[in-house]
Amino acid sequence: MQQVVSSEELLAAALQVYEQGKHPLTAMFGRDETLNGAGYAIYCCFEVPEKRDVHIVKGVFSAEGPLSYESLTHAIPAAAWYEREIHDMFGLVPEGHPDLRPLVLHESFPEDFHPLRKSVAVNAKVRGERKFKIRTAKGQGLFQVPVGPIHAGIIEPGHFRFSQAGEAMLQLDAKLFFTHRGIEKAVEGKTPEEALHIVERICGACSVANTWSFCQAVEKAAGVAVPRRAEIIRTLLSELERITNHVGDLGNMPAGVGFNPAISLGSRLKEQLMRLCEAVAGNRFLRGVIVPGGVRQDITPELIEHIHEVMDATAQGVEDLAAMFREQENFQNRVRTTGIIRNQTAKDLAMVGIGARASGYAHDSRKDFAYGVYPELGFEPYTMTMGDVAARLLVRIGELSASFEMMDKLLDMLRNCHGMELKVELTSGKGEGWGICESARGSNFQYVALDNEGRIDRLFVRSASYPNWPALTIAVQGDIIPDFPLINKSFELCYACIDR
Amino acid sequence: MGYVFQGLALNIVQALLLLAFAPLIAGVINKVKAFLQKRQGASVLQEYFDLAKWWKKPTILTPYTSIIFVVAPAVYFITSFLAASMLPGFLAGQISISDAFIFVYILALGRFFMCLSSMDAATAFGGMGGSREVYVSVLVEPAVMLAILINSLRYHSTTLSGMVIDYDGAYFTVSAALACVAFFLVILAENSRLPVDNPDTHLELTMIHEGMTLEYSGPLLTLIHLGSMLKVMVFLTLFGALYLPLAVPLAVKILFGAVLIGLVEILNNKMRLFKVRVYMGAAIVLLLLAIIAE
The residue extents of the domains of chain B are: 2-293
The predicted pLDDT at position B168 comes to 43
- Please state which of the ranges A150-159, A254-263, B81-90 shows the lowest mean pLDDT: B81-90
Beta-carbon separation of A330 and B38 below 8 A = no
Assign A440 to helix, strand or coil. Answer: coil
| Nearest CA-CA distance, residue B213 and chain A, Å | 14
The predicted pLDDT at position B170 comes to 52
The predicted pLDDT at position B167 comes to 46
**Contacting A residues, span 179-218, partner chain B, CB-CB under 8 Å:** none
Beta-carbon separation of A143 and B124 below 8 A = yes
**Phi, psi angle pair for A345, to nearest 5°:** -60, -45
Domain-by-domain residue ranges, chain A? 2-133, 183-491
Q: pLDDT per residue over A111-125, tens digit each? A: 889 999 999 999 989
User: CB pairs below 8 Å between A and B: how many?
Assistant: 73
Question: Under CATH, to which class is A2-133 assigned?
Answer: alpha beta
| Nearest CA-CA distance, residue B275 and chain A, Å | 10
Which residue is closest to A489 within chain B, CA to CA?
B203
Q: Does A485 touch chain B (CB under 8 A)?
A: yes
Comparing B171 with B241, which gets the higher pLDDT?
B241
Beta-carbon separation of B266 and A260 below 8 A = yes
Q: Does B123 touch chain A (CB under 8 A)?
A: no
Q: Does B200 touch chain A (CB under 8 A)?
A: yes
The predicted pLDDT at position B164 comes to 67
Closest by CA position to A352, among listed A248, A476, A448, A445: A445
Q: pLDDT band for A77, please (50, 70, 90 cuts).
A: very high
Rounded Cα distance, B35 and B207, in Å: 25
Which residue is closest to B40 within chain A, CA to CA?
A264
B2-24 mean pLDDT? 87
Beta-carbon separation of A259 and B269 below 8 A = yes
Degrees (nearest 5) of the Cα angle A411, A416, A418? 125
Rounded Cα distance, B57 and B38, in Å: 33
Q: pLDDT per residue over B179-204, tens digit each? A: 899 999 999 999 999 899 998 888 88
Residue type, B120: D
Q: Which CATH architecture best describes the domain A183-491? A: Orthogonal Bundle (1.10)
Rounded Cα distance, A221 and A261, in Å: 49
Q: Does A478 touch chain B (CB under 8 A)?
A: no
B201 chain-A contacts, CB cut-off 8 A: 258
The predicted pLDDT at position B90 comes to 65
Beta-carbon separation of B273 and A328 below 8 A = no
Rounded Cα distance, B12 and B241, in Å: 18
Rounded Cα distance, A117 and A311, in Å: 47
Q: pLDDT per residue over B151-182, tens digit each? A: 888 878 777 777 765 544 456 788 888 989 99
A167-191 mean pLDDT? 93
The predicted pLDDT at position B169 comes to 46
Indicate the pTM of the whole model. Answer: 0.93
Beta-carbon separation of A144 and B202 below 8 A = no
**CA-CA-CA-CA torsion sign (A333, A338, A344, A347):** negative
B112-137 mean pLDDT? 92
Beta-carbon separation of B206 and A482 below 8 A = yes
Beta-carbon separation of B273 and A145 below 8 A = no
Which residue is closest to B200 within chain A, CA to CA?
A258
Q: pLDDT per residue over A198-244, tens digit each? A: 999 999 899 999 999 999 999 999 889 999 999 999 999 999 999 99
Q: pLDDT per residue over A269-308, tens digit each? A: 999 999 999 999 999 999 999 999 999 999 999 999 999 9
Beta-carbon separation of A258 and B270 below 8 A = yes
The predicted pLDDT at position B101 comes to 86
Residue type, B223: L
> What ipTM does the predicted assembly reach?
0.89
Q: Does A331 touch chain B (CB under 8 A)?
A: yes
Q: Does A325 touch chain B (CB under 8 A)?
A: no
B213-242 mean pLDDT? 93
Burial state string for A378-398 with b = 16 or more CB within 10 A and e = fewer than 16: ebebbbbebbbbbbbbbbbbb
Closest by CA position to A25, among listed A322, A348, A384, A425: A348
Task: Give the closest of B33, B195, B265 to A330, CB-based.
Answer: B195
**Phi, psi angle pair for A444, to nearest 5°:** -105, 125
Q: pLDDT per residue over A23-66, tens digit each? A: 999 999 999 998 888 889 999 999 999 999 999 999 999 888 88
Q: pLDDT per residue over B26-80, tens digit each? A: 999 999 999 999 899 999 999 999 999 999 999 999 888 999 999 999 999 999 9
Q: pLDDT band for A152, please (50, 70, 90 cuts).
A: confident
Q: pLDDT band for A397, please (50, 70, 90 cuts).
A: very high
Assign A403 to helix, strand or coil. Answer: helix
Assign A449 to helix, strand or coil. Answer: strand
**Contacting B residues, span 7-66, partner chain A, CB-CB under 8 Å:** 33, 36-39
**Phi, psi angle pair for A443, to nearest 5°:** -75, 135
CA-to-CA separations, A330 to A257, A475, B101, B167, B269, in angstroms, rounded: 10, 21, 34, 36, 7
Q: Does A143 touch chain B (CB under 8 A)?
A: yes
A185, burial (CB in 10 Å: exposed 0-12, middle 13-18, buried 19+) = buried
Beta-carbon separation of B205 and A147 below 8 A = yes
Beta-carbon separation of A260 and B33 below 8 A = yes
Degrees (nearest 5) of the Cα angle A394, A399, A403? 150
**CA-CA-CA-CA torsion sign (A421, A426, A427, A431):** positive
Beta-carbon separation of B124 and A145 below 8 A = yes
Mean model confidence pLDDT for chain A: 93
Beta-carbon separation of B266 and A484 below 8 A = no
| Nearest CA-CA distance, residue A486 and chain B, Å | 10
| Nearest CA-CA distance, residue B110 and chain A, Å | 24
Rounded Cα distance, B211 and B88, in Å: 32
Q: Does A333 touch chain B (CB under 8 A)?
A: yes
Alpha helices (H) along A177-259: 183-186, 192-199, 207-222, 228-252
Q: pLDDT band for B2, please (50, 70, 90 cuts).
A: low
Contacts 24+ apart (CB under 8 A), A80-89: A80/A470, A81/A466, A81/A467, A81/A469, A81/A470, A82/A25, A82/A27, A82/A28, A82/A29, A83/A28, A85/A29, A86/A28, A86/A29, A86/A30, A86/A42, A88/A114, A89/A30, A89/A114, A89/A115, A89/A116, A89/A117
Asked if the model's pLDDT at residue A267 lies above 60, the reply is yes
Q: Does B111 touch chain A (CB under 8 A)?
A: no
Task: Give the closest of A145, A268, A334 to B272, CB-based.
Answer: A334
| Nearest CA-CA distance, residue B270 and chain A, Å | 5
HSE-up of A388 (CA within 13 Å, CB side)? 12
CA-to-CA separations, A109 to A45, A129, A498, B58, B151, in angstroms, rounded: 29, 6, 18, 37, 69
Q: pLDDT band for B97, please (50, 70, 90 cuts).
A: low
Q: pLDDT band for B96, please (50, 70, 90 cuts).
A: low
**How many Å from the N-terminal Cα to the C-terminal Cα in chain B?**
39
Which residue is closest to A264 within chain B, CA to CA?
B37
B125 chain-A contacts, CB cut-off 8 A: 145
Q: Does A480 touch chain B (CB under 8 A)?
A: yes
Asked if the model's pLDDT at residue A431 lies above 60, the reply is yes
Most B CBs within 10 A among A143, A259, A327, A484, hence the mutation to make, goes to: A259
User: Are the CB atoms for A250 and A318 separated by under 8 Å?
Assistant: yes
A259 chain-B contacts, CB cut-off 8 A: 269-270
Beta-carbon separation of A260 and B265 below 8 A = yes
